[in-house]
Structure 1
């Protein structure tokens, strides 16, 4: 179909602070995490880089941009889900029953003071609607990538959690003018 374009969604590299509910809580990316992201996108061709406004995405986008001669655009809509009162905590520090209710129904049982799943999907959908029809790389977060798949492919929660999205994971999609999509690539293997 004419008017289709490629969209590459890259999860930022491993942050220095791991094992936490990192939504708005930020952490620098490790050198290894940065290198994994830069290596992951080497074979790709894209004309534009967009990233969330969190340093773990911005640093990766800046490093990739320097290699490509591209200046990344920052868009806060590509942020991770806001975990509210849980943001920055380890799962072990959160009431287990409340955390399970969230995993089972992230819209009906959001973190206290946090964002509902449907709100994340809505802001990611808005960001997708504003994309220009050119091949782009979005450096973002695991939750935002899953929200994009919900928006573009219609996946339910069960399907969205049926695959792993480790740090430096890459999903490539063909986007049609009506903002539906087809997954054309998924890379989750370790990058060396």
Structure 2
């Protein structure tokens, strides 16, 4: 059995209505209340061995992961596979300023189509799937700070959804999603907690 606990990063410092997939923006301050709330949501960590703590390398994820590592006394590993979807040329732009003929074509098939210079949802899901597979082969427990897109992809993998499906579930800033890997048992993955 292996538990993978995924936290969404704190609220980013982004103007409303802007595209910010891999746009490396900081988190909104102050973070002390966010950290306290996150620690209160992690009772499952009691007496768990071999903990692996990772973070997306983007600032808004590290803003939570760094103090979390300090509070728990665990080393932190940065893993770019857990970054948000790349929106390429759209990063940092207001959605209203992106030409509709571009965004409509992309929105009609986000799994196979990418924003200009960005990546498809299929590419995002593939890198998350690879990261999950690697972690479930390791002992103990994994705790990570990531983004809504990768966490939804991880839930899709856990639920065994078809490759072109990702659940459209609400994931609040600083909230926890808990996946459990059972190895050879069926179902191999279970979603223990979603957006707690």
Cross-structure match for 2:194: 186
- In structure 2, the residue corresponding to 1:130 is in which secondary structure? helix
Written as runs of structure 1 = structure 2, the 5 A alignment for 1:45-124 is 45=45, 47-124=51-128
The count of aligned residue pairs is 184
| Contact 2:89–2:116, Cα closer than 8 Å, also in 1 | yes
Larger radius of gyration: 2
Deviation by residue 1:26-82 (Cα, 9 ceiling, x = unmatched): 111112456325412334216221111111111210111111111211111111111
User: In structure 1, what is the Cα distance between the partners aligned to 2:54 and 2:35?
Assistant: 14
The reply on whether 1:172 has 2:170 as its aligned counterpart is: no
Q: Distance in 2 between matches of 1:9 and 1:113?
A: 28
Q: Which whole-Å CA distance do the structure 1 matches of 2:15 and 2:143 have between them?
A: 24
CA drift of 1:12 comes to 0.1
Corresponding position of 1:36: 34
Contact map agreement 1:102 1:111 (CA 8 A) in 2: yes
Greater than 6 Å deviation, 4+ residue runs = none
Q: Unpaired segments of 5 or more residues in structure 2?
A: none
Report the TM-score, using the length of structure 1 for normalisation: 0.85
Question: After the TM superposition, which of the residue ranges 38-47 and 142-151 deviates more from structure 2?
Answer: 38-47
RMSD: 2.2
Unaligned runs of 5+ residues in structure 1 are none
